[in-house]
């Protein structure tokens, strides 16, 4: 590793933060529920209450902290903020560098089930997005996805010394992957994404079955899109409450894990309480809820990201792992207008969080794609 301000790091949440968390959970004033409401009104109050009771009485953060600290992690300044990342050297011959990027409401923790299968083939770099998790929180405006992409490219090339690398991501990680491929095609060998975000809605020119998929997305956003409209316009009006109330944070994020995953309405079919709460700790422990939500505001306002009309076609080889229960996926015929898609895998199961839902399927697809590019 080059000499360049990369510093070893371990997660050590102060006891005072954990004590305060316990006291806040104990004092939660719960909303009243409606008979038969369940998840109809958003978060199921009964389930969130049981999750918070488990958080308060049974969840062992120190055990989870030990698991997170089992892999080498670092801090490194790039673009004006300290990036926090895991850096796991590959075990095989000539491992290829791979940047794994999460989105909202996830975290770098999403990838932990994939570390062992991927570290046979890759040098893995798994950062928290700036303003998420355990890295630095931006103190100035402008930290949208385009700036994040530039910071991650600096991390991979200038700080870690890689001349060529690949990416994998879903949600914001997929959008940052696309930005990296568009801006740095000489260094980015390829991008592997499990989320195809194309903001311009086609009104014609697609096969009938794909137009039906577009209409389904429009309907989905009509009923489920309030979260991103709040994040894009008035995030701090929401996140002051989430920064004060762990129950409020749990309700906002846990409902998305249920709605966007392949869980059939039963969230613990795919995510244990421990997994849900460890992901939540990436937002709570460092008081990162507000800075995470502002990524939407800053990206939506950033003309460099060009959300209204996608970048010109991205020429780097692109692989798409298409998980059938991810409600945000665009049809292939539309995606091919904007990406150089050389591999498209229709997966048998999985939703918006495949690194947690279907880690073996996702890891295999990543390995097979990059075997063609090494």
Q: For residues 366 and 360, is the Cβ–Cβ distance under 8 A?
A: no
User: Alpha carbon 152 to chain centroid distance?
Assistant: 14
- How would you classify the pairing of strands 73-78 and 81-88? antiparallel
Give me 321's structure tokens.
């792992």
Among candidates 180, 82, 167, 81, which has minimal Cα distance to 124? 167
What is the C-alpha to C-alpha distance for residues 228 and 231, in angstroms, rounded to an integer? 5
62 membership: H or E segment, kind and range: helix 61-68
Cα separation values, 139 from 142, 176, 237, 290, Å: 10, 21, 18, 12
What is the C-alpha to C-alpha distance for residues 230 and 235, in angstroms, rounded to an integer? 6
User: Alpha carbon 170 to chain centroid distance?
Assistant: 6
What is the C-alpha to C-alpha distance for residues 311 and 244, in angstroms, rounded to an integer? 38
Identify the active-site residue in 296, 300, 326, 338: 296
Place of tokens 């893995």: 124
Helix%, strand%, coil% for the chain, nearest 5: 45, 15, 40
Give me 107's structure tokens.
């975290």
Among candidates 299, 321, 327, which has minimal Cα distance to 169? 321
Q: Which residues pair with 322 in a beta bridge?
A: 346
Identify the active-site residue in 128, 352, 365, 370: 352
User: Alpha carbon 253 to chain centroid distance?
Assistant: 12
Q: Which residues pair with 156 in a beta bridge?
A: none
Query: Per this entry, what is the length of the chain?
Result: 374
Identify the active-site residue in 44, 171, 262, 326: 171
Catalytic residue list contains 223: no
Place of tokens 């980015």: 188
Among candidates 171, 347, 354, which has minimal Cα distance to 263? 354
Tally of CB atoms within 10 A around 122: 29
Catalytic residue list contains 171: yes
Sign of the four-CA dihedral 125, 128, 134, 137: positive
Catalytic residue list contains 236: no
Residues designated catalytic: 171, 296, 352
């Amino acid at each position: 590793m080059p000499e360049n301000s990369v510093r070893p790091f371990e997660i050590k949440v102060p006891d005072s933060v954990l004590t305060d968390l316990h006291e806040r959970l104990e004092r939660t004033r719960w909303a009243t529920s409606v008979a038969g409401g369940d998840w109809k009104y958003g978060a199921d109050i009964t389930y969130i209450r049981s999750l918070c009771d488990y958080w308060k009485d049974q969840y062992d953060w120190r055990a989870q902290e030990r698991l997170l600290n089992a892999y080498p992690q670092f801090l490194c300044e790039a673009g004006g903020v300290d990036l926090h990342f895991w850096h796991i050297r590959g075990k095989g011959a000539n491992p290829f560098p791979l940047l794994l990027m999460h989105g909202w409401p996830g975290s770098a923790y999403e990838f932990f089930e994939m570390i062992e299968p991927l570290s046979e083939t890759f040098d893995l770099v798994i950062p928290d997005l700036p303003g998420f998790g355990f890295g630095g929180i931006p103190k100035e405006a402008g930290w949208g996805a385009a700036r994040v992409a530039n910071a991650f490219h600096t991390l991979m090339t200038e700080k870690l010394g890689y001349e060529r690398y690949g990416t994998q991501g879903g949600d914001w990680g997929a959008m940052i992957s696309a930005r990296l491929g568009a801006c740095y095609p000489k260094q980015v060998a390829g991008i592997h994404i499990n989320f195809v975000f194309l903001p311009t809605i086609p009104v014609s020119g697609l096969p009938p079955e794909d137009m039906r998929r577009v209409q389904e997305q429009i309907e989905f956003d009509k009923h489920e899109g309030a979260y991103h409209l709040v994040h894009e316009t008035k995030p701090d009006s929401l996140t002051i409450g989430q920064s004060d109330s762990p129950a409020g944070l749990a309700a906002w994020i846990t409902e998305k894990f249920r709605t966007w995953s392949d869980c059939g309405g039963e969230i613990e079919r795919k995510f244990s309480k421990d997994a849900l709460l460890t992901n939540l700790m990436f937002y709570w422990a460092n008081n990162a809820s507000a800075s995470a939500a502002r990524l939407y505001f800053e990206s939506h306002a950033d003309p460099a990201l060009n959300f209204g009309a996608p970048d010109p076609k991205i020429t780097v080889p692109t692989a798409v792992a298409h998980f059938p229960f991810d409600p945000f996926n665009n049809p292939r015929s539309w995606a091919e207008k904007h990406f150089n898609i050389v591999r498209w895998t229709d997966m048998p199961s999985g939703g918006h969080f495949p690194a947690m839902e279907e880690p073996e399927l996702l890891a295999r697809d990543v390995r097979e794609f990059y075997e063609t590019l090494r």
